[in-house]
Each structure stands twice: as structure tokens, then as C-alpha cells.
Structure 1
Amino acid sequence: MLTPELLFALRNLPLAARRAAEGFLAGAHASRRQGAGMEFSQYRPYQPGDDLRRLDWRLAARSDKYFLRESEVDTSLTVNLVLDASASLGHLDDNNLSKLDYARLLLAALAYLAQKQGDAVGLTLLLPTGLRQLPARADTRQLPRLYHALETVAATGTFPDAATLAPLTARRQRALTVCVSDLYEEQGEISRLLARLRATSGEVLLLHLMAGNELNFSYKGSVTFRDLETGQTLQLDADQQRAAYQRQLQAWLRDTAQAARRQGLDYYLLDTSQPLDGALREFLKRRQLMS
């Protein structure tokens, strides 16, 4: 698997997305159902209420029996990608890759996969100044729009307030919503949004970003930490605090995963120092279950 830093080093988001996703496409089979598509599958006897336009009149003329032509069609979904672009995503891992850099690669690869599956895919960037939305489309020009939006977004400010987020959950729509966030929140604002998304779209895959140096606390000696959203600083001895930090982190991660699953969310923790394959596999799994 290509590492995130190697993909990012390509400095070409469309190419990086394709390279990250193409290994999965070989094993991703289109979901099939019986319907009124273009590829003929079989006949079945007419039943009251069936669409008469699908009757095979030539066969009826020959046999005096009424049959419908059934075909196999690819099922498609609406996939809504949602990115928390608040300032905490500017955090850098030891490989000098930020959470936002990783999120760009991940969402671009997911968009590529979705389009290859025939899905309508859209993107919403959660910004403190408002939502930047690209409504879901299945046309060939959608990927360049998404790539441009991801390439130009910056990690800034705090998570948007409820009034700003309201249009995101204003109407119900059956869709697979993929939300990428580091879940940095002050008063449960991200959790409330996820609950509303679950209620309005039906399926939410939550991809929780954590940098490798956050998970492993690889810092050494005296370190000054600065909160990217509040500006507050904290100085400590990393070696002395490592054990206590890791205990508290594991407890928080466990509680976070349990709370998400109680809400009916599909939760998946991502280490931004690792390849994208785990997240892509989770996406394909959820998509196949919905098809």
C-alpha cells in the first residue's frame, strides 16, 4: 500500500486518489438487482399491477401468454461526503502530513470510488464562515469540482454553530453520509450534528482522524502544546506524562466509539500515519450493505 506521505508527495490530488482507490476496484463488484435496465436477464409471468411497458408483446403473440422482460441493473446510491475543516485539522504528524492533508486524500479517493460505482457523490465542507456545498451529482464533471474544493480548503476557525449547519439536515434524503472529523469539540456540537445526519440520511459512516503522534504520544522531553482553535498553550514533560496520557486517551476513544455506535453510527478510527485501505474497505462495505 502507498503511504499517505507518498501519495501526498505526488502533488496531484486526482492522480493520488486514483492510485489509492484502484487497488480496491478489482474486488468491488457492482450490486445487482432485478429491474428495468438495459441488459436482459430473464422472463417472468405477468402479475396484476406490473408495468405493461415491460411486456414482451412478440412472445405473447406467439404463445398467447404474457411475460415481462427482466434485466439486471447496477444499483446506485447518493453518497454525501462531509469534512470538518476546523483549525484542529491543521495538526501535523511526525511525517509532516496534517490531518487535513490526509482528509483530502481520503475524500478524493472515496469520491473516485463512488463515481466508479455509478453513484451520485457530493461534498460539504464545514467552515466557520458557512457551508461550502457541492450537491450530489453523477456526471463526469463532478470529480474535478470535488478535487478543486478539497485542494483549496484550509483548516481554520472553530466548528460551525447550529444555525450555520441547519441547511445540511433541512430535508430527508436516503443516502450514505461519510463524515470525516477529528471530533475535537467543546460542548457536543459535532455529536449533535451526527445525530441529525443519522436521522435525515439514514446511514452515517464516521471516520475519526487521529494523528500517529497523538495516538502514540511520540513527543520527548519538555514540550509546549498549543490548541489550534483556542490558542491556549500547555507546557509539560512528555516522558513523565506519557503513561497517564495514553490511559486517558484509550478511555476517551473507547467512550467515543461506544457513544457513536449507540447513536447508530458506523464508527471507524483512522491513524493518519497509516495507508487509506482501512477506510476505503469500510466505505465499500457500507455501500454494498445499502445496495
Structure 2
Amino acid sequence: MLSPELLHGLRNLSLAARQAAEGFLNGAHASRRHGAGMEFSQYRPYQPGDDLRRLDWRLAARSDRYYLRESEVDTSLTVHLLLDASASMNHRDDNGLTKLDYARLLLAALAYLATQQGDAVGLTVLSPAGLRHLPPRADARQLPRLYHALETATAAGHFPDAATLAPLTARRQRALTVCVSDLYEETGEIQALLTRLRAVSGDVLLLHAAAHNELSFSYKGPITFRDLESNQTIQLDADQQRAAYLQQLQHWLRETAQTARRQGFDYHLLNTSQPLDGAMREFLRRRNAT
């Protein structure tokens, strides 16, 4: 798997998505199953109890054997991608990528995967200025629309308030919702949104983006931290605070994962310095179970 920085270095989201996703497509195509559908797939020998209407009588006349026409039943679904575009997603890792950069690459790869499965894919960029929403579609022009929306997304401000988010849960539409967020919130607003989406749409896959320098606290010596959303600053000695920080971080991560799973979400922690394969594997696992 290519690293996130190499994919980002391509400077072409369409190419990066295809490069990241193609390794998962071989043997992972699960959007169709054999059955009595409309699109022909293959023949198989007749077995007692099979529906005689599916016998291919012309083949039987030529071969003196009985075969059934197998077909493919389309089991595609709707995939709704959510991008947290609040300012904390501008946090930059040691590899030079921001969480937003990583989220763009990941969601583009998931959109490519879902499209290859025949799914209708939509995207909503969540920002305080309002929602940028592309309704789910399965046509050939949807991927370029999604790529453009991801490429032009910028992160700013706080996570949107409930009034801004209300249109997302106004209508019931069965879908697999995939949310990429760093889960920095003030009063549980991200959890509240996903809980409502699970109630009206069904399955939710929560991909928690965390930078490597956050997870390892790789900073050294005296340093000033600035909150990207409130602009508040704090000065500390990183070497003195590392042990306490890591202990609190692990407690927060455990609590976050437990809370998400209690709400019925599939939760997966992402290290933004690592390749995208873990998140894509989770997506395919969840998609195939839907």
C-alpha cells in the first residue's frame, strides 16, 4: 500500500483514489450474488427441485443435458459519506499532511470502491458555514463531482450546530453512513448527529482520524499549543507532560470507542500516518454485512 504522503504527492485525487482502492477490488466484489435475477452470469447443471422455468431448453437440445441459467441479483446500496470540516481537521502531522488531507484521500478511495460495487454514493461536507451536500447517485458523472467537492473542501470554525445539521436527518433514507472525523466536539454534537442518522438511515461506520504526533506525543521540550477552533494557547514542557498526556489520551480513546459502540456505531481508529487499507477493509466488511 502507498503511504498517505505518496498518494497526496500525486496531486491528483482521482488517480490517488484509484491507486489506493484497486488492490482491494480483486476478490472483494460483493455487490452482486448469483440467483434468479435479470443479468445473465453463467450456467450450472440442473438439480432436483430447481425451478424448471430457468432451464435453458436450447442448450438441452444441443447437449442432451439440462442446465440452468444463473444470473446476478443486484444488491447495491446507498453510501453516504460525511466529512468533518471543522478547523481541528487542519492539524498537521509529522509527515506534512493534515487530517483533512488524509480524510480527502480516504473518502475519495471509499467513493471509488463503492462506485465499483455499483452503489449510489453521496457526500456531505460538514462546516459551520453550512452543508455542502451531493445527493447519492450511481451514474458515471458522480465520481468527478465527489472528487471536486473533496478537493475544494476547507476546514474552518467549529462543528456545525444542530440547526445547520437538521436537513441531514429530515428524511428517512436507508444508507450506510461513513463519517470521517477527529471527534473534537464541545457537547457531544457529533455523537448526537450520528445517533440521529443511525435512527433514520441505518448503519453508521465512524472512522476516527488521529494524527501520529497526537497519538505518540512526539513533541520535545518547551512548546506552545494553539487550539485551532478557539485560538486559545497553552505553553508547556512536552517531555514533562508526555506520560500524563498519553495516559489521558488512552482513557479518552477507550471512552470514545465504548460510547460509539454503545450507540450502535462501527468504530475504527485511524492513524493518519498509516496507509488507507485498514479503513477500506472496515468499509468493505461493513458494506458486505449490510
Scaled by the length of structure 2, the TM-score of the pair is 0.90
RMSD over aligned Cα atoms:
1.9
Which whole-Å CA distance do the structure 2 matches of 1:75 and 1:230 have between them?
Answer: 45
Alpha-carbon distance change, 253 to 152 in structure 1, aligned in 2, over 3 angstroms? same
Alignment of 1:15-26 (within 5 A): 15-26=15-26
Corresponding residue for residue 286 of structure 1: 286
For the structure 1 residues 72 and 159, does the alpha-carbon distance in structure 2 shift closer, same or farther, using more than 3 Å as the test?
same
Once residues 56 and 112 of structure 1 are traced to their aligned partners in structure 2, the CA distance between those partners, rounded to angstroms, is 35
Q: Number of residue pairs matched?
A: 275
1:12 partnered with 2:12: yes
Alignment of 1:1-291 (within 5 A): 1-30=1-30, 31-39=32-40, 44-45=50-51, 71-290=71-290
Residue in structure 2 matched with residue 62 of structure 1 by the alignment? none
Secondary structure of 1:154's partner?
A: coil
Instruction: Give the structure-1-normalised TM-score.
Output: 0.90
Shift in Å, 1:27 = 2.5
- The C-alpha deviation readout for 1:91-130, integer Å capped at 9, x for no partner, is 0001110000000000000000000011000000001011
User: Which residue is 1:64 aligned to?
Assistant: none
Instruction: Report the residue type matching 2:38 in the other structure.
Output: G
Q: CA deviation at 1:74?
A: 3.2
CA distance in 2, matches of 1:179, 1:35: 35
CA distance in 1, matches of 2:205, 2:237: 37
Contact 2:56 2:69 survives alignment (8 Å): no
The Cα offsets for residues 5-38 of structure 1, whole Å up to 9 and x where unpaired, read as 0000000000000000011111313341534322
Q: Which runs of 5 or more residues in structure 2 are unaligned?
A: 58-67
Q: 1:13 to 1:57 in 2, by over 3 A?
A: closer
Give the drift of 1:39. Answer: 1.0
Residue 57 of structure 1 deviates from its aligned partner by 11
Query: 1:56 and 1:257 mapped to 2: Cα distance?
Result: 49
> Do 2:159 and 2:185's aligned partners in 1 also have CA atoms closer than 8 Å?
yes
Q: How far apart in 1 are the matches of 2:112 and 2:37?
A: 27
The CA deviation at 1:56 is 7.0
**Tell me, what secondary structure is at the counterpart of 2:203?**
strand
Distance between the aligned counterparts of 2:69 and 2:10, measured in 1?
Answer: 49
The amino acid that maps onto 1:23 is: G
- Gapped regions of structure 1 (runs ≥ 5): 47-54, 60-67
Map Cα deviations across residues 146-165 of structure 1 (whole Å, 9 max, x no partner): 00000001011110010110
